[in-house]
Structure 1
Amino acid sequence: MYVSTSTAHHTPTIEQQVFRIISKRKAIRASRVRKTASLARDLRFDTVDVVDIILELERNFSITIPDEVPLTTVGDFVRYVREHAAAA
């Protein structure tokens, strides 16, 4: 019998990677990071925090996130990265 040795299930999803980057920024418990969480209101991130997150996402996923892209929730980041990292 053939058993797949694929390690695909060990690779973190884009969502997991984005959550990790966001939670790492201020050492937030992963349980507080939800797709609906507002970075400013719920997670108390300021503009510098958001810029640092954007730079980290750009480095990790080899994408560019333009300034005019509205990113206010964790889900906004996940959605943008998922759509643009796949095209890269």
Structure 2
Amino acid sequence: MFVATTSTAQAASKTIEQQVLRIISKRKAIKTVRLRRTANLSRDLRFDTVDLVDIILELERNFHITVPDEVPFYTVGDFVRYVTAHAA
């Protein structure tokens, strides 16, 4: 039973990651294969504040979560980790 639950959780986590990457890539028409979890949103991907707010709003709509203003997002991985931890 534990193995099935772990596999299911890993599959759900991977699906969430893929959806988050799709939302981020759509913002600037970046191919998802180019997105690395360590990529810095402003320095590497050239996202500005408006881009980040739009991504957050899209994530909130898609995953039915609320992202507080004080949550720092510096990398692609920050988005993936936050959504994975808070999505129902």
Task: Normalising by structure 2, report the TM-score.
Answer: 0.82
Q: Which residue of 2 aligns with 1:71?
A: 73
Unaligned stretches of 5+ in structure 1? 1-7
Q: Which residue of 2 aligns with 1:19?
A: 21
Q: How many residues align?
A: 77
2:34 maps to 1:42: no
Distance in 2 between residues matched to 1:70 and 1:80, nearest whole Å: 10
Distance in 1 between residues matched to 2:32 and 2:60, nearest whole Å: 21
Higher helix share: 2
Q: Which residue of 1 aligns with 2:56?
A: 54
Q: 1:28 aligns with which of 27, 30, 38?
A: 30
Unaligned stretches of 5+ in structure 2? 1-7
4+ residue runs of structure 1 moved beyond 3 angstroms? none
Q: Which residue of 1 aligns with 2:82?
A: 80
Partner of 2:68, secondary structure, is coil
State the Cα deviation string for residues 50-79 of structure 1 (Å, max 9, x = none): 000000000000000001001110000000
Distance in 1 between residues matched to 2:47 and 2:62, nearest whole Å: 20
User: 1:34: how far off?
Assistant: 0.8
Structure whose CA Rg is larger: 1
Task: Normalising by structure 1, report the TM-score.
Answer: 0.82
Partner of 2:19, secondary structure, is helix
What value does the CA root-mean-square deviation take over the aligned residues? 1.5
